[in-house]
């Protein structure tokens, strides 16, 4: 498919981290204010981008720390939220967009910002974008797996207190050594309050990955799985997902860069999962850092797997059906 045809397809994206979706020109403008000089493109790329596979997921997560430094005020957060939506709509033609963020990722380097201040700024940016562009945006709150139980509880309370402006709750970061089970009471409480649940699971190439995916569903009530790519190794877990109609939020470039899937991008099992009947969706994860967007991601699928409008429309239909944004709001902008 030609780039213009890909751009023209209306799209749905379910898995995108707001804090790692900064416009490159905005990073370049903000960085010097935080002591990071960017004299040239090479410096920018080496400080802020990942374009070659790193050793593992942990190395990639560490690379986010320079970007974290820039999330320093409510003005900046409102701006990046608006710009993320603007670029999604104008450049990628995304009509339904879920953006997720971890309040503790922001406060970690900026303890003067509290959760409410952060959230209100982000909501202002998103709501302004929804007025300006024919799109619907849903915010998902993230609990980081590395948090203490007390902090995980605080984030849960915060998500529930803001259930009118969050559509769901997620659990992110590396799951190795951070089982799902201890988080179960928090997710059960969030579900009861009416929040939807998606969980990062089955991402890294570790022996127990398919089991982690089942646990995310059984202990946390996950309705969708962030990544889940490793289930391709386990037909039983694939069948489990198919029977339960639980979609995967697959992120091909991300999986390549974290070495979740070793080798070339063409070795990614997306098509294998889709053809087996697992519900598959296409996502970017951290587009500001991975130097990708939905257009470049679709181009990869077209080039590597011969995807055309039929396959893209199929994946978008799944994404729209399983998108956590309330139906009344979704229906105003989708189908286009």
Tell me how many helices (H) and strands (E) the chain has: 18, 8
Which residue among 83, 98, 203, 311 is the active-site one? 203
Q: What distance in Å separates the CA atoms of residue 62 and residue 69, rounded to the nearest whole number?
A: 12
203 noted as active-site residue: yes
- Pick between residue 14 and residue 333 the one whose CB is nearest to ligand ADE: 14
Q: Is 17 in the site for ligand ADE (CB under 6 A)?
A: yes
Torsion angle in degrees (nearest 10) through CA of 86, 91, 93, 99: -50
CB atoms within 10 A of CB 17: 25
Interaction pattern, residues 46-85, with ligand ADE; x per rule: CB under 6 A: ----------------------------------------
> Does a cis peptide bond (omega within 30 degrees of 0) precede residue 135?
no
Q: Is 19 in the site for Zn ion (CB under 5 A)?
A: no
Q: What distance in Å separates the CA atoms of residue 320 and residue 333, rounded to the nearest whole number?
A: 11
Name the minimum Å distance from CB 100 to ligand ADE. Answer: 9
* Residue of the chain from 67, 237, 253, 254 that contacts ligand ADE (CB under 6 A): 254
In terms of DSSP bridges, do strands 168-172 and 11-17 run parallel, antiparallel, or are they unpaired? unpaired
Q: Is 173 in the site for ligand ADE (CB under 6 A)?
A: yes
Distances (CA, A) of 253 to 18, 143, 175, 191: 17, 23, 20, 31
Q: What distance in Å separates the CA atoms of residue 11 and residue 61, rounded to the nearest whole number?
A: 27
Q: Which of residues 273-332 bind Zn ion (CB under 5 A)?
A: 285
Q: Which of residues 162-181 bind Zn ion (CB under 5 A)?
A: none
Name the minimum Å distance from CB 4 to Zn ion. Answer: 29
Name the minimum Å distance from CB 202 to Zn ion. Answer: 12
Which positions touch ligand ADE (CB under 6 A)?
Answer: 17, 20, 172-173, 200, 203, 254, 285-286
């Amino acid at each position: 498919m030609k780039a213009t045809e890909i751009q023209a397809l209306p799209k749905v994206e379910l898995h995108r981290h707001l804090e790692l979706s900064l416009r490159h020109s905005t990073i370049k403008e903000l960085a010097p204010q935080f002591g990071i000089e960017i004299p040239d493109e090479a410096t920018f790329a080496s400080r802020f981008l990942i374009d070659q596979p790193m050793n593992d997921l942990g190395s990639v997560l560490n690379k986010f720390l320079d970007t974290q430094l820039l999330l320093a005020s409510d003005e900046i957060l409102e701006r990046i939220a608006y710009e993320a939506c603007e670029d999604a709509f104008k450049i990628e033609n995304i009509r339904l967009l879920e953006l997720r963020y971890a309040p503790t990722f922001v406060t970690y380097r900026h303890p003067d910002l509290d959760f409410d201040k952060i959230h209100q700024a982000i909501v202002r940016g998103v709501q302004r974008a929804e007025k300006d562009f024919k799109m619907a945006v849903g915010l998902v709150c993230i609990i980081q797996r590395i948090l203490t139980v007390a902090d995980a509880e605080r984030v849960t309370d915060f998500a529930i207190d803001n259930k009118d402006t969050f559509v769901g709750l997620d659990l992110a970061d590396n799951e190795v050594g951070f089982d799902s089970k201890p988080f179960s009471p928090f997710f059960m409480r969030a579900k009861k309050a009416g929040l939807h649940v998606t969980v990062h699971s089955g991402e890294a190439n570790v022996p127990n990955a398919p089991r982690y995916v089942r646990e995310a569903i059984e202990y946390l009530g996950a309705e969708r799985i962030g990544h889940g790519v490793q289930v391709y190794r386990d037909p039983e877990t694939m069948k489990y997902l198919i029977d339960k109609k639980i979609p995967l939020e697959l992120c091909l470039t991300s999986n390549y860069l974290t070495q979740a899937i070793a080798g070339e991008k063409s070795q990614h099992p997306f098509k294998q999962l889709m053809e087996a009947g697992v519900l598959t969706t296409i996502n970017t994860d951290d587009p500001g850092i991975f130097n990708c967007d939905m257009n470049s991601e679709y181009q990869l699928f077209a080039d590597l797997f011969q995807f055309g409008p039929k396959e893209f429309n199929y994946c978008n239909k799944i994404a729209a059906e399983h998108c956590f944004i309330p139906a009344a709001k979704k229906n105003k902008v989708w189908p286009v």
